[in-house]
Structure 1
Amino acid sequence: MINQIIVLLTTFKLFFIPLYHSTDFEVHRNWLAITHNLTIDQWYYESTSEWTLDYPPFFAWLEYGLSHIAKLLDPEIVKLQNLNYESQMTIIFQRLSVIILDCFYLYSAKCCSDLITNGRLLVFILLVANPGLLMVDHIHFQYNGFLYAFLLFSIFSMIKGKYLWAAFWFSVLLNLKHIFLYIAPVYVVYLLRAYCFTVASTDGVHTAWYSFSSRNLLKLAFIVITVFTISFGPFIHHIPQILSRLFPFKRGLCHAYWAPNFWALYNFGDKVLQYVLPIFGISVSSSEASMTGGLVQEYDHVVLPSITPTVTFILTLLSMVPALIKLWNLCADKKYRAMSFIRCITVCATCSFMFGWHVHEKAILMILIPLSFLAVLGDVDGRLFLFLSTVGNYSLFPLLYPKSLIGIKLFLLLTHCAIAFGNLPALYVVPKVKGTKRIRKLRLPMLSRIECLYIYNLIGLWVYENAIHFILGLDKRLPFLPLMFTSVYCALGVLYFWIRYYYYFLTFNLSMVPIQSVESTPQHNKKIK
């Protein structure tokens, strides 16, 4: 069955080759040219194109390797001056490079799904057929599947107790894409608690004394330092320049399309106050914030205090602290360490998504990927996965703006919803819905009334964005309005998920009836069908 799924998915990806692609397509073509033609001491200085190299060294080396294959197929691909070059061979090569590198992700998903007894195939499908991943990588164009393979490899190693391998895979991941620094504190806390603090003695009932192993700490340090040395060693004299490329704080608080996070709500609140306050006789600046046009630049809010990178960093770090403390305490029981680790990754990824600086909407995948693995392991995980996967994948729709892609977006999302809502509830006892027969049919399984209402309202939002907005003739005067509505509405959903899942993680304790261990059959807090 897994082989059949892989063949089916690969076929879909091949059909996507001639479809629309974003500016990221030219970004990666330009990186092929930079790494192929210039010496490594020039890679992070080249600025012929506006799409300068801004990924860590390991990804630059990946582009360097791909460039030699590209040159054999079409030498024009790797010419620095060929800006926006899009020959048929260029499109085919770059699309196929994503599909082939996806083999790493397929294998990592297989490894993680093999850890589960009940729901193994479902987890594999949820991981590899994630509609957001398909849209972002194989239509919009990026290499996220390849990157998330290393995250899954590290999770797999951590669950198996292979801590050094987990540290290795995650270190490699950080040197492929630095955005995963957001969840690095989870790895630091977990590895210190689970690997560096070893059990010295126990009375067999209540008390366990732990001793710190400096030897294990040195092993971890050696792995991490070695990986970073191999990555940044050749660029030792250019590290300040690399860091300036990796962390370009002048890009502004929000991306061109606001990611559905706290800052989308903040921006929206600023715009509302800008128009409401004059009604009450309170004067405000008449200047238009650049965010209304979706520009990717620094700007000042009109009414609310403007946000700096320092503010977002502090908020992100503070929001993670309770989860990290809870993880430290949960690690006391070896049996549930792995589950707590993955849940903490999900929580901290959501914290970074909610409060980070210049968050890309595609970062929602950092939450959805580990949450997909958790979906079959507990009823709360499963319910909130159903909710967030629907909202999060819908929030990516604006990335594929051509009208010709509407059918494909809907097909991917609705197929995913059908698989998830049709199979996930069978693992748990779903409470019977009270009310008339019609209400029971409309109620989505596992979700509460308010969650169902929120999901159904996405239909109205979609109708407005794709029909009503144009019928009213607003597409010329207010072109950014549909994007703002999508960001703000989906931000409310992500905020709801963050609060509910964070509360669940913080209030979970080892005296509760366990949810499923990854190596046992599914259980949950009540009774399993």
Structure 2
Amino acid sequence: MQGESSLPQLLWCYAVAATIKVLLIPSYHSTDFEVHRHWLAITHSLPLSHWYYDETSEWTLDYPPFFAYYERFLSIFANLVDPQIVHLHNGLNYKATSVIVFQRLTVILSDLWLLYGVYRLTKHLDSLKRNLIWVLVVWSPGLLLVDHVHFQYNGFLLGWLLLSISFLVEGSDLMGGFLFAVVLSFKHLFAVAAPVYFVYLFRHYCRGGLVRGFGRLSVIGAVVVAVFAAAYGPFFYHEQIQQVVRRMFPFGRGLCHAYWAPNFWVFYIIVDKGLAFFLRKLGFNIQAPAASFTGGLVGDSSSFAVLPQITPLTTFVAVLLGLFPCLIKAWSDPQPQFIARWIAYAYTCGFLFGWHVHEKASLHFVIPLAIVAVESLEDAKHYFLLSIVSCYSLFPLLYEGQEYPIKVLLLLLHSILMWFGFSAQFTKDEASETEEQTNNDESVWSEKSRATSGGKEWFGIGWIGKVYLFGLMVVELWGQILHPYILGETFPFIPLMLMSIYCALGMTYSWIWQLKRFLKLS
């Protein structure tokens, strides 16, 4: 009954967010908007056997088949709205009002799946925690900027992930595994968490003796195979699976994306640049690589002047090494209440050490971490800082002047809402908190470690966190005012570089904090 009574409140939360998104329909959109429009045209105009071969546009289809099927479904309605939307030879950047409104609305409506995922995860929580998670997820400024301005379908995809987590938390491992296989068939970049799923399900679901364990392993294996067969089977039939895989994994794109995602490789790049500079000063003949990392928007750069070259295999090994402590914990103590932490940590590893990481990939761990942010004061402090850093790191995606007030206002409003939400959650009398803990001993969301002071809990980020956030403002002040005033158009890459380096410090801190946290708790 508690979950049912909360549904109207969640729908109201969605309606508020949808209203803002509708107001942003005329705003800037990236090339991803045309990418998805072209995918509508490909899947509507061509037979399935031609989808992954089409090169009518440079925006070739490179998502797994379930997403292609989803585009095919949307194309039915697009054709009814405006046949030109799904015309394959309509040229690039079709910008009619019909296509803008249609595609924007498809993202808004697809967010209902995210809403369902959040609902399932929070329906058993008390109202304060539940409402706070809704604010963190449904009103996420990062999701709004990426999906509803820049343009993508991350909310829809993350809805599948949250649904998977919700079933795992409840102990429904088979359904959780099934849903994860589904999201992998929508977007393969979610595969970073696959080792965590495999180890956890093998130890938690397949336990109970050799015969029973093997039987359960066979069942869950069959479920996963069935999902992949539904996704990839038609392409096996047409002997196109190699082409599909080739499109999904274009390793030739380089180590870094167009803008330096704030991860470990930022530091590697800076060290390489610094070494090259000093060695040249010492008289060494150090040649800069043809594709420079400091050309503004980096593109396909992946060459280094001094340090060893980084290959996709290198990043794959780095991600696995980062995951190793998490896999050990999932193997030794596979408890459902920690699965959200482990999955978020896996995506953090993928973000920090992965190949050609998009800055938008931070949503893969920021959204799941919202679920555990309400469990303890320490989790709340960490999430407060991480959410701000993640959102700020997305600012370069919206580089036009008219969107600047929007992204700043969204981040400020979200920070204020988080502050008041966490303060309401953790500024409580110790007695009432103890009573609540006693009443929730059976809940998987219970958190036994509480920070108290003078009989109360207080939400605050400490002086180090405050200094770091002040540094964010300094970086933004430099990029928006001081750099143009002092240097003009000279060294145009410096503002982006500083933003990436500074946000990378925050992301690296989050990775270390998450690692220490789950090692301590589990």
- State the TM-score, normalizing by the size of structure 1: 0.88
**Residue of structure 2 equivalent to 1:87:** 96
Deviation at 1:142, TM superposition (A): 0.3
CA deviation profile, 1:430-474 (whole Å, cap 9, x unmatched): 6679xxxxxxxxxx9432322221111111111111111211243
**Residue of structure 2 equivalent to 1:45:** 53
Deviation at 1:218, TM superposition (A): 1.4
* RMSD of aligned residue pairs (Cα, Å): 1.8
Pick closer, same or farther for the CA change 1:300–1:379 going to 2, 3 Å: same
Asked whether 1:214 is paired with 2:224, we answer: no
Residues 58 and 231 of structure 1 are in contact (CA less than 8 Å); yes or no, is this contact kept in structure 2?
A: yes
Aligned to 1:279, which of 278, 281, 296? 281
Number of equivalent positions: 483
CA deviation profile, 1:18-45 (whole Å, cap 9, x unmatched): 0000000000011011111111111001
CA deviation profile, 1:242-273 (whole Å, cap 9, x unmatched): 10110000000000101100011111222222
Deviation at 1:384, TM superposition (A): 1.0
**Residue of structure 1 equivalent to 2:465:** 451
Residues 422 and 459 of structure 2 are in contact (CA less than 8 Å); yes or no, is this contact kept in structure 1?
A: no
**Residue of structure 2 equivalent to 1:169:** 179
Distance in 2 (CA, whole Å) between partners of 1:195 and 1:432 is 41
Distance in 1 (CA, whole Å) between partners of 2:211 and 2:466 is 49
Deviation at 1:321, TM superposition (A): 1.1
Q: Secondary structure at the match of 1:18?
A: coil
Distance in 2 (CA, whole Å) between partners of 1:286 and 1:308 is 18
Distance in 2 (CA, whole Å) between partners of 1:491 and 1:21 is 26
Deviation at 1:286, TM superposition (A): 4.2
Give unpaired runs (5+ residues) of structure 2: 1-8, 428-450
**Residue of structure 1 equivalent to 2:448:** none
**Residue of structure 2 equivalent to 1:123:** 133
Q: Secondary structure at the match of 2:293?
A: helix
- State the TM-score, normalizing by the size of structure 2: 0.89
Residues 131 and 416 of structure 1 are in contact (CA less than 8 Å); yes or no, is this contact kept in structure 2?
A: yes
Deviation at 1:211, TM superposition (A): 7.8
Deviation at 1:507, TM superposition (A): 2.8
1:358-369 matches, within 5 Å, as: 358-369=356-367
Distance in 1 (CA, whole Å) between partners of 2:382 and 2:477 is 25
Pick closer, same or farther for the CA change 1:418–1:162 going to 2, 3 Å: same
Larger mean CA deviation between 423-432 and 5-14 belongs to 423-432
Pick closer, same or farther for the CA change 1:287–1:214 going to 2, 3 Å: closer
**Residue of structure 2 equivalent to 1:377:** 375
Q: Secondary structure at the match of 1:411?
A: helix
Distance in 1 (CA, whole Å) between partners of 2:347 and 2:59 is 26
**Residue of structure 2 equivalent to 1:136:** 146
Give unpaired runs (5+ residues) of structure 1: 201-209, 332-336, 434-443, 510-529
1:243-254 matches, within 5 Å, as: 243-254=245-256
CA deviation profile, 1:168-189 (whole Å, cap 9, x unmatched): 1111100000000001111111
Residues 127 and 369 of structure 1 are in contact (CA less than 8 Å); yes or no, is this contact kept in structure 2?
A: yes
Distance in 1 (CA, whole Å) between partners of 2:167 and 2:292 is 45
Aligned to 2:75, which of 67, 80, 84? 67
Larger mean CA deviation between 171-180 and 321-330 belongs to 321-330
The aligned amino acid for 1:90 is V
The aligned amino acid for 1:500 is W
Larger mean CA deviation between 236-245 and 110-119 belongs to 110-119
Larger mean CA deviation between 298-307 and 358-367 belongs to 298-307
Distance in 2 (CA, whole Å) between partners of 1:379 and 1:158 is 24
**Residue of structure 2 equivalent to 1:440:** none
CA deviation profile, 1:268-327 (whole Å, cap 9, x unmatched): 222222223323444421455432222322541112111011100111111111111112
Asked whether 1:356 is paired with 2:363, we answer: no
Deviation at 1:127, TM superposition (A): 1.0
Pick closer, same or farther for the CA change 1:466–1:431 going to 2, 3 Å: farther
Deviation at 1:212, TM superposition (A): 5.4
The aligned amino acid for 1:245 is R
Asked whether 1:11 is paired with 2:19, we answer: yes
The aligned amino acid for 1:490 is C
CA deviation profile, 1:70-129 (whole Å, cap 9, x unmatched): 111111111122221111101000000101111111121122121322511111111111
Asked whether 1:2 is paired with 2:31, we answer: no
Residues 431 and 446 of structure 1 are in contact (CA less than 8 Å); yes or no, is this contact kept in structure 2?
A: no
CA deviation profile, 1:189-244 (whole Å, cap 9, x unmatched): 1111111013x7xxxxxxxxx98521211110111010100110000011111101
Distance in 1 (CA, whole Å) between partners of 2:466 and 2:211 is 49
Larger mean CA deviation between 266-275 and 367-376 belongs to 266-275
Aligned to 1:496, which of 506, 509, 514? 509
